[in-house]
Amino acid sequence: MLESGPKGSSFNKIIAPGFSDDDKRVVLGDLKESFENPPKLEGELEKTPDEEKAIELANWITSQIIRSLGLDPLEIPSQNVKVLSTVEIGDRDYGGEMEPLRQILKLERSDSGLVTLVRTIHEMLHMKSFGAFQTLPDNSSGLDFNARSGLAIKSRDGFQQFFWRLNEAITEYLTRAAYHFVAQERKEVFSQELASTEESKRDVGKVVDDNGEDVPTDDIYFATTESGDLDGKSFVYRKERQVFDLLVSKLYERLKSVFESEDDVREQFYIAYFSGNNRVLAQMVDGSFGKGTFRKIGETRTAKEFERVVDLM
Ligand SMILES: [Zn+2]
């Protein structure tokens, strides 16, 4: 079995029965080549200096996070990030996506440097997290590029995905922490937007989302006021992040003799997210709450199901 080495692309590993280690090395080498020579896209916009800065900071902070966990980060240069118009990129919930085949990140252009920063951090985390692709069995000649993405795992037939909710919870949890760090350490870069966001938030007070739920003010990272209403962006996957917090605090309650703080428990999830070693998490969860519990978390499809399973633990 070819051990996963340092990433030369978004992929650490290939799951392909019948491939020799040499074959796998060739494929990983080709992907590294794609990563190092990303294509120019039709409709790709020339980046503004502000966009270049936001991308550079997103790469810097995400690599810092990985290094702080004792792991080697993949550095993502600006040439792998493609800025596109809203029309070109199409309807994306998040304003960005990672494209494994061409080894690029696609971003929807925003007037806001903070929005560009946050979107880039989120997508870069996906690209820097543990990645594996797989050949699909028999009668399909297809390739599945999302066999592993962070903690998310696909079944061998490529049809089912596990731990998707937990994976996005962690991605956005880290995105939020990274944003707050950059906004603090490099506030001169975004000073105007940060100041006007704070002012807008103060003016408006309480904010509720489309579902009528309160949005915590420090979840809003960019805001403007238009005729008294707050228009802005807040961190996504809020429910998933809350459930992740609950999961961590429940684990910590059981494992106080092993870990010093909830942050130490959280770190185990981050290490698995970047290194691909989910087994440590499975042992930790199943050891505390019974065999099969980790799998149950993995099987949840919606945020509500994710919440129910963790609530009942
Ligand atoms: Zn995501």
Please give the full DSSP string across 88-131, using - where no structure is assigned.
HH-S-SSSEEEETTTTEEEEE--S-HHHHHHHHHHHHHHHHS-E
Cα of 132 vs centre of ligand 1, distance in Å, is 16
- 43 in Cβ contact with 52 (< 8 Å): no
Q: Which residues of 107-145 are buried (b: 16+ CB within 10 A; e: fewer)?
A: bbbbebbbbbbbbbbbbbbbbbbbbbbbbbeeeeeebbb
Between the CA of 169 and the centroid of ligand 1 the distance, in Å, is 9
pLDDT at residue 4, as a whole number: 54
E strand or H helix that includes residue 220 = strand 220-226
- Specify the pLDDT at position 62: 97
pLDDT lower than 70: segments of the chain: 1-6, 91-93, 139-141
Q: Ligand 1 centre from 123 Cα, in Å?
A: 6
Could you tell me which residues come within 8 angstroms of residue 21 by beta carbon, excluding any fewer than 6 positions away?
1, 2
Cα of 23 from ligand 1 centre, angstroms: 30
pLDDT at 234: 92
Q: From the CA of 258, how far away is ligand 1's center (Å)?
A: 31
d(CA 146, ligand 1 centre) in Å:
12
**Structure tokens of 168?**
């996005």
Contact (CB, 8 A) for 163 and 148: no
Ligand 1 center from residue 94 Cα (angstroms): 8
Ligand 1 geometric centre to CA of 125 (Å): 8
Q: What is the pTM of this model?
A: 0.94
The pLDDT score that the predictor gives to residue 91 is 67
* Cα 97 to ligand 1 centroid, rounded to whole Å: 8
Domain boundaries in the chain?
Answer: 13-176, 191-234, 238-311
Instruction: Output the CA 161–ligand 1 centroid distance in Å.
Output: 14
The predicted-structure confidence for 254-308, as pLDDT tens digits, reads as follows: 999 999 999 999 999 999 999 999 999 999 999 999 999 999 999 999 999 999 9
Kindly give the distance from the C-alpha atom of residue 235 to the centroid of ligand 1, in angstroms, as a whole number. Answer: 11
